[in-house]
């Protein structure tokens, strides 16, 4: 099956595209785009990989679903397009960034700049129906993104994995913690942020680790 995806990722994942689960997933997703409003736009389904080639990944942040409101999802977890109001979880991420690094609130919630520095902003599920959170879960995306995490864990060293909330932490169970640095805390959503996300200092902790491994730090 031909999937348009950044070359270094295609080399790592090519076997997945011919597996039965992925062929079924592709059929489902194609039908959904033809019959419903689905996010992100089809051309941005694999933007997370295009924005951050395999060889350049230094940090992985795991999300769950794309945003399901009009114009929000842009293919990167927690990120929204410029001009779109920031969802509450993203506001809390920037509040923690300010407490951790002293940086003020940015003009918009587009995290493409993070991705271009080597932060893979990976949702477990890469598509969703409008106003229907979770609608594309358990259709095969989770198998695919598990393989992404596994390839990163096996083929790279000294990555930072940032796992916010129980869902990400469960998905991150396959990470080899002898080779990589894992930062875990509560989720930044308003329902959980006060239970350990605020004050967790993920940005400075990540950069301290990268610095200790002679890697260029992230300009968060």
Question: Annotated catalytic residue: which of 11, 65, 155, 214?
Answer: 65
How far lies 200's CA from each of 14, 184, 204, in Å? 37, 8, 9
Neighbours of 187 (CB within 10 A): 22
Q: Which two tokens stand for residue 84?
A: 């779109």
Between CA 155 and CA 20 the distance in angstroms is 24
Is residue 190 within 8 A of residue 196, CB to CB? The reply is no
Between CA 185 and CA 10 the distance in angstroms is 31
How far lies 67's CA from each of 142, 165, 167, in Å? 17, 17, 16
Is residue 65 among the annotated active site residues? yes
Choose among 11, 39, 3: nearest CA to 136: 39
Catalytic residues: 65
């Amino acid at each position: 099956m031909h999937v348009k995806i950044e070359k270094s990722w295609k080399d790592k994942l090519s076997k997945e595209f011919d597996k039965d689960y992925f062929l079924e997933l592709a059929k489902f997703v194609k039908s959904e785009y033809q019959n419903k409003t689905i996010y992100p736009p089809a051309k941005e389904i694999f933007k997370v990989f295009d924005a951050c080639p395999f060889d350049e990944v230094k940090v992985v942040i795991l999300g769950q679903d794309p945003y399901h409101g009009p114009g929000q999802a842009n293919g990167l977890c927690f990120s929204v397009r410029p001009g779109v109001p920031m969802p509450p979880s993203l506001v809390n991420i920037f509040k923690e960034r300010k407490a951790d690094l002293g940086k003020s609130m940015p003009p918009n919630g587009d995290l493409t700049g993070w991705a271009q520095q080597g932060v893979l902003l990976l949702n477990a599920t890469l598509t969703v129906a409008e106003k229907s959170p979770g609608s594309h879960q358990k259709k095969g995306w989770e198998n695919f993104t598990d393989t992404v995490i596994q390839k990163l864990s096996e083929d790279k060293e000294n990555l930072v994995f940032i796992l916010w909330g129980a869902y990400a932490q469960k998905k991150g169970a396959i990470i080899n913690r002898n080779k990589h640095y894992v930062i875990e805390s509560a989720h930044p959503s308003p329902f959980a942020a006060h239970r350990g996300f605020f004050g967790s200092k993920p940005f400075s902790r990540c950069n301290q680790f990268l610095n200790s491994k002679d890697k260029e730090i992230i300009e968060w």
